Structure 1
Amino acid sequence: MQFKSLGRTDITVTDICLGTMTWGSQNTEAEGHAQIAMARDAGINFMDTAELYAVPGSPETSGRTEEIIGNWFAANGDREKWILASKIGGGGSSFLRGGRRADGASIREALEASLKRLKTDYIDLYQIHWASRGHYHFENYWRYAPHRQDTADVLANLTDMLQTLGDLVREGKIRHVGVSNETTWGIAKWLRIAEENGLPRLVSVQNEYNLLRRLFDHDLAELSHHEDVGLLAYSPLAGGMLSGKYFNGATPKGSRKDYQKGFWRLNEHSDAATHAYHEVAARHGLDPVQMAIAFCRTRPFMTSTIIGATSTDQLAQVLGAIDLTLSPEVLADIDATYRRFPRPI
């Protein structure tokens, strides 16, 4: 297991992070606890959750994942052994504070509720789950419209959030601050406001990154390098797409496509690209799931790759990537495939 610094802090995290978003909907508490134990035994010290989880978010499921993690801490007494990350929703979800966007007041309200569910006095990394002003992540890519944003309002909102986050750091309720589903401009403004006002500096950004979606490779990678804001990559398997489980129109029972009655990542372009990456893995005698995880770990901007599973068998398969090093020949094949399929989803 490799360890990476979390931004410009003295915290080191394993470069594989345990994702938790299915616990409480697709997974029971016992299954979630079994995954925590498996990750711990593999040497992982980093776990990520959110107030929205379990997904899909709803009044019935949101908050359950944090409760499951809190019950683990209460039963095992090992909170200090974990670097724990959680998030406040960015707004728009009617069951989270009436859909109000993240701001100073809602951050304090959300954090206090998360601390209670997690049965802890502090969260190591507290993140804004998505940019309230709009963003191009998930299916928003095709209708992203930054020209509609009110610059003054956006900057005032960022300042308000950072001021409250600063108070919470001083109170010892959070240690560090991160963002998720953010843009290069957004991160730059978070950093500038923090520097000018003596407020907490971002240590990470949690965006999607995988063989099918590599938007981080360009402007975000440049910012990450110069500003030490590392990537926490979610969906390294593109929501399970890269496993090949959806080939030939399949809908495996218990899969995300089955559970959510649809799968927006699946289309003729992403299917063709996934087949191509499976061909790369086959040529080199690799497990395609482990190849996809190992590729993420090669990226110079990567702080940690967030893995998730709905069974311990799936988690064991993913953890097999820990000891996998991709050869120059494999990486060259991946690059050639990326040139053919630069933006399939």
Structure 2
Amino acid sequence: MDYVKLGSSDLEVSKVCMGTMTFGQQNTEKEGVEQLNLAFDQYGINFLDTAELYPVPSKAETQGMTDKTVAEFLKGRRREEVVLATKVCGKSQMDYFPRKEKTTTSLTKEQILYSVDKSLERLGTDHIDLLQLHWPDRYVGSMFGQADFTPSQVREAVPFEETLEALQILIEKGKVRYAGVSNESPFGVCSMIELAKQSPDLYPRIVSIQNSYSLVVRKDFESGLAESCYHHKVGLLPYSPLAGGSLTGKYAIKEDVPENCRYKMFPGFMDRYYGSQNEKATIAYAEIAKDKGLTPTQVRVALVSNAFAHVSDFISFPSLRSLGAIIVNTSLQLSSDIKAYDIKLDEATLKEIDQVYKLYTDPTKFA
């Protein structure tokens, strides 16, 4: 396993991060602990990612169960061996979340402080290594398959200053080591970095961004965020490198999706991968993989790990290195996925992939 520094922080993390969002929904506690033990003991993965929202789809009866699985795993570890990341929810109507009788989640100072205390309690630890804002409090567009930014949708939101002040308080109290964002835009990244530069005693500098990034979701990051992250030393944690499982090739056609698949379990959330050009793009990428004697999964893991040809210099910059992927799998799938990180794609294969990208640049958004 290779290890890299995360953004401008001193966190030394494995190039693979274990995602946990199905623990408590599609995976039992026992299965979750088994996967984490396998990842840490056999493959040297020291980095895991959870969230107060998990497991998904979020509902009152399961909220927080993922953290309980992580807590069980942590009982058998020295805390300093694990880099633990979690997230606090952005603005949403979820009245079953622990928010002191609030009916919505939001990134206010009060809610962030309260949320972190509850996360620490569930996780059974005294600190979080990386606390991320799960999604912005404001309207941003281009999030979870939404349409691009539309000015008429802009709404009142918690100011960056209030949110960052809460994060600074948590860092000063020793409850959080570093702060990051998720599902963010170039405007959000640059605004928060600028505030931290102007008032470093009041606001922490964000060190990472966790956004969707895959063969079929490249444009949002590469067309603007890549430049912002490069200049501000913000590390990328790409999630959903399999595009919700569609890039395995198994579920390329909607009619072939089994009942226990994520597409059927998360009504509406996975629609971006159907009724769009994503099906055609997935089939095209699968054909390239077949011609090279690789599985579609191996190709997508190798691509996210090694990066695309024209951004490889950015991704491999030591303080900005992509961690490859945040992955969620069964124990059997986990082994093959991790081994795929060592696959090196040749220039000819990368050029073929780039041709498909030019044809299907933003396939999950446009029908």
Q: 1:292 aligns with which of 288, 300, 304?
A: 300
Match of 1:71 in 2: 72
Q: How far does residue 83 in structure 1 lie from its aligned partner after superposition?
A: 0.7
Match of 1:139 in 2: 145
Match of 2:341 in 1: 322
Match of 1:42 in 2: 43
What amino acid maps onto 2:136 in structure 1?
Answer: A
Residue range with higher mean Cα deviation, 232-241 or 254-263: 254-263
Q: 2:109 aligns with which of 98, 104, 113?
A: 104
1:28-39 residue pairs with structure 2 within 5 A?
Answer: 28-39=28-39
Q: Distance in 1 between matches of 2:109 and 2:305?
A: 34
Residue range with higher mean Cα deviation, 9-18 or 299-308: 299-308
Q: How far does residue 4 in structure 1 lie from its aligned partner after superposition?
A: 1.9
Q: How far does residue 148 in structure 1 lie from its aligned partner after superposition?
A: 4.2
Match of 1:11 in 2: 11
| DSSP-derived class of the 2:283 partner | helix
Q: Distance in 1 between matches of 2:340 and 2:152?
A: 41
Q: How far does residue 61 in structure 1 lie from its aligned partner after superposition?
A: 1.5
Match of 2:22 in 1: 22
Counterpart contact for 1:91–1:99, Cα < 8 Å: yes
Q: 1:257 aligns with which of 259, 263, 270?
A: 263
| DSSP-derived class of the 1:99 partner | coil
Report whether the alignment pairs 1:340 with 2:364.
no
1:1-345 residue pairs with structure 2 within 5 A?
Answer: 1-40=1-40, 41-74=42-75, 76-94=76-94, 95-96=96-97, 97=99, 98-135=103-140, 136-141=142-147, 144-149=149-154, 154=157, 157-198=159-200, 199-214=203-218, 215-248=220-253, 249-261=255-267, 263-264=270-271, 265-299=273-307, 300-301=314-315, 302-345=321-364
Q: Distance in 1 between matches of 2:8 and 2:330?
A: 35
When normalised by structure 1's length, the TM-score is 0.94
Q: Distance in 2 between matches of 1:93 and 1:32?
A: 28
| DSSP-derived class of the 1:102 partner | coil
| DSSP-derived class of the 1:233 partner | coil
Q: How far does residue 255 in structure 1 lie from its aligned partner after superposition?
A: 1.4
When normalised by structure 2's length, the TM-score is 0.88
Q: Distance in 1 between matches of 2:184 and 2:152?
A: 16
Q: How far does residue 327 in structure 1 lie from its aligned partner after superposition?
A: 1.4
Q: Distance in 2 between matches of 1:266 and 1:4?
A: 36
Higher helix share goes to which structure?
1
Q: Distance in 2 between matches of 1:305 and 1:22?
A: 19
Q: What's the Cα RMSD here?
A: 1.6
Counterpart contact for 2:301–2:325, Cα < 8 Å: no
Counterpart contact for 1:241–1:266, Cα < 8 Å: no
Alignment size in residue pairs: 340
Q: How far does residue 147 in structure 1 lie from its aligned partner after superposition?
A: 4.8
What amino acid maps onto 2:77 in structure 1?
Answer: G
Q: Which whole-Å deviations, capped at 9, do the CAs of 1:242-283 have from their partners, x for residues lacking one?
A: 011213421234210232356312235111000000011111
Q: Distance in 1 between matches of 2:246 and 2:229?
A: 27
Match of 2:310 in 1: none
Counterpart contact for 2:22–2:56, Cα < 8 Å: yes
Q: Distance in 2 between matches of 1:52 and 1:164?
A: 19
Percent same amino acid at aligned positions? 37
Residue range with higher mean Cα deviation, 106-115 or 267-276: 267-276
Residue range with higher mean Cα deviation, 106-115 or 86-95: 86-95
| DSSP-derived class of the 2:238 partner | strand
Q: Distance in 1 between matches of 2:74 and 2:33?
A: 10
Q: How far does residue 336 in structure 1 lie from its aligned partner after superposition?
A: 1.1
Counterpart contact for 1:90–1:131, Cα < 8 Å: yes
Residue range with higher mean Cα deviation, 193-202 or 270-279: 193-202
Q: Distance in 2 between matches of 1:306 and 1:61?
A: 25
Q: Which whole-Å deviations, capped at 9, do the CAs of 1:5-27 have from their partners, x for residues lacking one?
A: 11112212112110000000111
Q: Distance in 2 between matches of 1:267 and 1:245?
A: 17
What amino acid maps onto 1:114 in structure 2?
Answer: S
Q: How far does residue 310 in structure 1 lie from its aligned partner after superposition?
A: 4.2
Structure 1 unaligned spans of 5+: none
Residue range with higher mean Cα deviation, 79-88 or 175-184: 79-88
Q: Which whole-Å deviations, capped at 9, do the CAs of 1:184-235 have from their partners, x for residues lacking one?
A: 0111111111121212101001110000010211210001111101211010
Q: Distance in 2 between matches of 1:261 and 1:104?
A: 32
Q: Distance in 2 between matches of 1:260 and 1:207?
A: 19
Q: Which whole-Å deviations, capped at 9, do the CAs of 1:12-57 have from their partners, x for residues lacking one?
A: 2112110000000111001101110121121111101100000011
Q: Distance in 1 between matches of 2:118 and 2:88?
A: 10
Q: Distance in 1 between matches of 2:183 and 2:68?
A: 24
Q: Distance in 2 between matches of 1:83 and 1:165?
A: 18
